[in-house]
Amino acid sequence: MTTVGQVNLFNPILNNIDRTETKRYAGMGRSIHFPESIISEACSIVMLEKHIKTVWTMYEYDCISGCINGDYKIASKELLKHLSCSKRVILMAATVGEGVEVASKKYFEQGEYALGLLIDAAATAAVEQAANALCTMLTAQFINQGITLTARFSPGYGDWSLEEQEKVAPLAHVTSIGVNLTNAKMLIPRKSITAVAGLKTVTGEDNEMGCSQCTQKDCIMRRVK
Amino acid sequence: MIKIFEGAMGTSLQAMGIADQPCPEYASVKYPDEVMNIHKAYVDVGADILECNTFGANPLKLAQFGLADATEKINIAGVTAARRAAKKGVEIAGNIGPSGRLIAPLGDLNFDEACESYARQIKALAGAGVDYILFETIIDLQEMRAGVLAAKAMCNLPIICQLTYDAMGRTVTGTDPSTAAAVLEPLGASIIGMNCSLGPEQLLPLVKELALSTTLPISVQPNAGLPFIKAGKTYFPLTPEEMGYWAPKLVEAGATILGGCCGTTPAHIKAIKEAVNNMNPIARTILPTGVRLASRSKSIWLGKGHPTVLIGERINPSGRKAMAAEIKTGNLTSVKREALVQVEAGAGVLDINMGVPGMEQKKLMGHVVGELAMLVNVPFSIDSVEPEVLEAGLRAFAGRALINSVSDKPDVKEKVFALAKKYGAAILVLPLGEKGLPKTTSERIIIAGKLIAEGKEAGLKDNDFMLDPLVLTVASDGQAPSETLNTLQEYGKVFGYPTTMGLSNVSFGLPGREDINAAFYALALASGLNAPIINPCNAKIRMMTEATNVLLGFDNQGVNYSKNYVAAKTIPAIAVTDENVLGALAGAVMGGEKERAAHLTLQAFAEGYDPREITAEALVKGMNLIGDDFGAGRTFLPQVMLAAEAMKSAFDALKTKTNVEDLPCLGKVVLATVKGDVHDLGKNIVGALLSNSGFSVVDLGKDVEPEVILAAAEKEKPDIVGLCALMTTTLGAMEETIKLLQQKTTTTIMVGGAVLTQEYAREIKADLYASDGVQAVKLAKKVVE
């Protein structure tokens, strides 16, 4: 059983970097005439230089006021809608560490531009894979309680302002995995993410104070007709 | 007879409202009669084994409720409640669940700490008189290993190991049932099984898989289906009748002990009991012979009847000064690279030797094994002559490793056999006697036989041994290879265990060693070698392994062989048919062919073309063409960057023949990522494209203060200042910089970056907006025209 507010560390195993995603992040999803050896080299370098860490914490969530842990009020309408069936949320963070960035820069400076670019893309793929692995683990952990995880949602997506990183990062306990926030609200190491995912019932049915019981009939998040 | 476990405890406690005071296990102390009554209800419907209410009663988990000090009290209370409910013949299992934290390197819990926590709980349970130690709902194989090691250290009770699998048939940390069996059976489990998470229908194929992978009894405790919540209450959908329908199928699949996990009630257990009452465990298929090794997520067989397995030999700093020096500085890059490269080349097992002089090998081995297990998914062979180094590796490895090796060395061999037994490892027997190297086959057979007998005395079994025939140098003894091959054949006849050897030693001192090694390898395979310790990256060895697998019938109709053969063929570069060398050079730039671009540049120069003409008519033309392709969506950024690389290599070649000042310079650009923004890849891309299109670029880097950019603009007097911002949070800094530049200079300001738009660029009064690097070059050219 998971305790609210507890900081949990998880370092997922990645035996490979997703090449298709790497190509997509490098902006060449449909391209075919490109040396596969450079993509392989970029993925290998990220495999060598990655230091993957993730952290997650469960909080109480009030879907009426949009408040996480009683003190952080969500302003994003899209996120409020996304979490409208949740009574608890998971705040998470993932990083692949500093090494990948150093490697990308090194190759770029050596004039191996394509490799530098692809290392950056492969590192993005890696941090996404890490976050996905965390979500898979959490899904398995909660399924037994009849609870499932919504898709993860990060500051900067949709109408959830990147400025919110300032509030989200401490709730996600980013420093416990060696991630810090700059004055410009950027995560360092750069290949790091924070996200929130809602916990909701498997059936999607609202529990106790769900929409069907809610008196705010004109609420934009209302799921019932 | 099929034995029956009791059903759910946790959900029963929840239903009674006593599960959270403060934790379910504490109910045994606070509400002993209620807990006893839950057990009793299961006894009444025919449960043969009761599971104590001690699932989370390990000190690590109890610490979350401030109850670590009450570990003994809670466990004893749990056993007492079950004992009071049990009638004659009913057995009691001490129930142990996860610690709640993941063991390093997956999490932050130290392996030894996990062992100690479990040991304390197990001591209490065993002292209170349980009949079994039951681990259940474990998701991490390494945590199960910690538990089994603790149980073996604290008591002699039978150990039941139940993991929890997801719908894909793996634990959350990647273990499948057959890998679990490969690790847990030799480690000392008495019964292997699964519980929780899935219903009986989903567990059925996993039970079938497990039955093919172990000789041990199998226990299964499904949930009453996947739960759902309605009006705040949790419901499990599977009825007792449905559970009764599936129970016989689980027995037919190989289960010998059945029970229920979350959501099951006495009615479910009754239905199971009645459905399997007259059934007996099925006779199981006999496992293949040979030795099985496993990582956390993969198991492989070695031996006769199985494909050749390559044991990668390259993670060994002996004789590799650079690797040893790097390891000494704490850098594992080349070790990791060797691991990746060898697995990529087809190694099925990695040998790990950390014999770095002057280093504490024990600590190093544990660390390296942990790190590499996060990188590759093949089993490891732990290679050392020091028992404590072997132990550090075996402890850290969440799988079944091979010990490399044991020889007839008194005081050491006993320790190595004990380690193999303790950690459930396989062991490589080296027939080296006290008197040194035995020369003849018969001497080697005698020593190997003696070591095997001693290993069995220490508790090892037939499927724990691998044999090395010893490889000596042919240059010093012409008969040595024949003796090795002969020993391999005799090993097969006398013992039948899988064989392995490091074969490169045979060619020492001779020229063309690769050829001799390859020939010897082929002969050894024909003589019964199963798993060479070898460099898998050697093309000849790889080809020969694949060819042998076809010839020995492991690669049906040579499908894999043919596939790899075609893939290995080099695909020739696209032929450029241009008659003119400049046209060919433009093509080479476009195609990103670095070496060819440099070569053609020198050729053009030799043919008398002026550097300016070469630049304009070939290099810039090539970049322009690929830029057009990019703009039209026919090509993508990495290809443009490759073209820039080819352009750079051509420029570099040109610079060897002419003065840099003679090369055309289109203009000067100062580039920077604005204050607060630490992204520099996008800016670097623009810089690379500009400088390879004939611009002189002054790169100020990332997170640059407006004043610094202004100072550079005043000093360099560029045609353009390029500013980059990648985040919405740093757009303000960009606006601030533009304002300052426009107050003090007349330079053209170009902006770009992921979050910028044409509209926003206009709003902050930038002169130009480039949506990407290619456009930045086009716009820059217009500025200087």
- What is the per-residue pLDDT for B574? 38
Express each pLDDT in B581-599 by its tens digit.
888 899 889 888 888 899 9
Is A12's CB within 8 Å of B106's CB?
Answer: yes
Residue A28 resides in a domain: yes
Same domain, B306 and B417: yes
Whether the predicted pLDDT of B541 surpasses 80: yes
Whether the predicted pLDDT of B471 surpasses 50: yes
Provide the CATH number for the domain around residue B317: 3.20.20.20
Lowest mean pLDDT among B220-224, B283-287, B667-671: B283-287
Residues of B (246-285) whose Cβ lies below 8 Å from A:
262
- What is the per-residue pLDDT for B543? 85
pTM of the model: 0.87
Same domain, B182 and B77: yes
Residue B285 resides in a domain: no
DSSP A74: -
Residue A224 resides in a domain: no
Provide the CATH number for the domain around residue A26: 3.40.109.40
Instruction: Please count the other Cβ atoms lying within 10 Å of the Cβ belonging to residue B284.
Output: 15
Domain holding A116, by residue range, is 8-213
Same domain, B634 and B528: no
Residue A187 resides in a domain: yes
- What is the per-residue pLDDT for B567? 60
**B676 lies within 8 A of chain A by CB:** yes
- What is the per-residue pLDDT for B568? 57
Residues of B (54-113) whose Cβ lies below 8 Å from A:
56, 64, 101-102, 105-108
Lowest mean pLDDT among A84-98, B262-276, B303-317, B551-565: B551-565
| Residue-by-residue pLDDT tens, chain A, 225 positions | 578 899 999 999 998 999 989 988 887 766 567 888 899 999 999 999 999 999 999 999 998 899 999 889 999 999 999 998 899 999 999 999 999 999 999 999 999 999 999 999 999 999 999 999 999 999 988 888 889 999 999 998 888 998 899 999 999 999 999 999 998 889 999 999 999 999 988 766 544 444 555 555 555 445 544
How do strand B347-353 and strand B310-315 relate by DSSP bridges? parallel
Q: Which amino acid is at B562?
A: S
Only one residue has tokens 């020993």, namely B487
User: Is the model more confident about B579 or about A187?
Assistant: A187
Residue A175 resides in a domain: yes
Lowest mean pLDDT among B258-262, B296-300, B492-496, B554-558: B554-558
Express each pLDDT in B62-93 by its tens digit.
998 999 999 999 999 999 999 999 999 999 99
Q: pLDDT-based confidence at B620, cuts 50/70/90?
A: confident
Domain holding B652, by residue range, is 581-657
Residue B282 resides in a domain: no
How many structural domains does chain A have?
Answer: 1
| Mean pLDDT to the nearest integer, B636-646 | 88
Residues of A (138-197) whose Cβ lies below 8 Å from B:
140-141, 143-147, 156, 161-163, 165, 182-186, 188, 190
Which CB contacts under 8 angstroms, 24+ apart, belong to B769-776?
A: B770/B686, B770/B722, B772/B630, B772/B637, B773/B637, B773/B640, B773/B682, B773/B685, B773/B686, B773/B688, B773/B689, B774/B627, B774/B630, B774/B631, B774/B640, B774/B689, B775/B631, B776/B686, B776/B689, B776/B690, B776/B722, B776/B750, B776/B752
Residue B576 resides in a domain: no
Shortest alpha-carbon distance between residue A218 and chain B (Å): 23
Three-class SS of B197-229? CCCHHHHHHHHHHHHCCCCCCEEEECCCCCCEE
CB within 8 Å of B389: residues ≥ 6 apart: B354, B361, B362, B365, B382
- What is the per-residue pLDDT for B412? 96
Residue A125 resides in a domain: yes
Residue B92 resides in a domain: yes
Residue A78 resides in a domain: yes
Residues of B (534-553) whose Cβ lies below 8 Å from A:
none
Of B520, B543, B566, the residue that ends a domain is B566
For chain A, count helices (H), then strands (E). 6, 9
Contact indicator for A189, A130 with CB cutoff of 8 Å: no
- What is the per-residue pLDDT for B13? 92
Is B228's CB within 8 Å of A203's CB?
Answer: yes
Distance of CA B41 to the CA centre of its chain: 45
- What is the per-residue pLDDT for A210? 47
Residues of B (555-614) whose Cβ lies below 8 Å from A:
592
Residue A220 resides in a domain: no
B-chain residues near A11 (CB < 8 A): 102, 105-107, 374
Whether the predicted pLDDT of B577 surpasses 70: no
Shortest alpha-carbon distance between residue A202 and chain B (Å): 6
Same domain, B559 and B533: yes
> Mean pLDDT highest for which of B85-94, B679-688, B719-728?
B85-94
Provide the CATH number for the domain around residue B620: 1.10.1240.10
Whether the predicted pLDDT of B647 surpasses 50: yes
**A13 lies within 8 A of chain B by CB:** yes
- What is the per-residue pLDDT for B548? 85
B-chain residues near A112 (CB < 8 A): 645
Same domain, B229 and B376: no
Is B336's CB within 8 Å of A205's CB?
Answer: no
Whether the predicted pLDDT of B525 surpasses 50: yes
Beta bridge partners of B534: B312
Is B229's CB within 8 Å of A201's CB?
Answer: yes
How do strand B531-534 and strand B310-315 relate by DSSP bridges? parallel
**Host H or E run for residue B652:** helix B637-655
Residue A135 resides in a domain: yes
**B636 lies within 8 A of chain A by CB:** yes
- What is the per-residue pLDDT for A187? 94
Provide the CATH number for the domain around residue B696: 3.40.50.280
| Mean pLDDT to the nearest integer, B633-644 | 85
Same domain, B110 and B132: yes
How many structural domains does chain B have?
Answer: 4
- What is the per-residue pLDDT for B726? 83
Q: pLDDT-based confidence at B576, cuts 50/70/90?
A: very low
Q: pLDDT-based confidence at B785, cuts 50/70/90?
A: confident
Distance separating alpha carbons of residues B337 and B333, to the nearest angstrom: 6
Same domain, B268 and B310: no
Whether the predicted pLDDT of B116 surpasses 80: yes
Same domain, B330 and B223: no
How do strand B720-724 and strand B748-752 relate by DSSP bridges? parallel
**A48: nearest CB among B102, B108, B340:** B340
Distance separating alpha carbons of residues B333 and B336, to the nearest angstrom: 5
CA triplet A121, A124, A130: central angle to 5 degrees?
A: 145
- Across chain B, which distance is largest between two alpha carbons, in Å? 104
Express each pLDDT in B657-677 by its tens digit.
888 777 778 899 999 999 988
Of B566, B599, B634, the residue that ends a domain is B566
User: Is the model more confident about B308 or about A3?
Assistant: B308
User: Is the model more confident about B408 or about A183?
Assistant: B408
The rounded mean pLDDT for chain B is: 92
Distance separating alpha carbons of residues B421 and B434, to the nearest angstrom: 24
Selected for mutation to probe chain A from B197, B641, B686 (highest A CB count within 10 Å) is: B641
**Residue of chain B whose alpha carbon sits nearest to that of A32:** B635
Minimal CA–CA distance to B779: which of B751, B737, B744? B751
Same domain, B500 and B542: yes
- What is the per-residue pLDDT for A29? 64
Lowest mean pLDDT among A90-99, B257-266, B305-314, B755-764: B755-764
Same domain, B603 and B556: no
Same domain, B499 and B556: yes
Same domain, B257 and B296: no
Whether the predicted pLDDT of B145 surpasses 90: yes
Selected for mutation to probe chain A from B635, B678, B685 (highest A CB count within 10 Å) is: B678
A-chain residues near B23 (CB < 8 A): 1
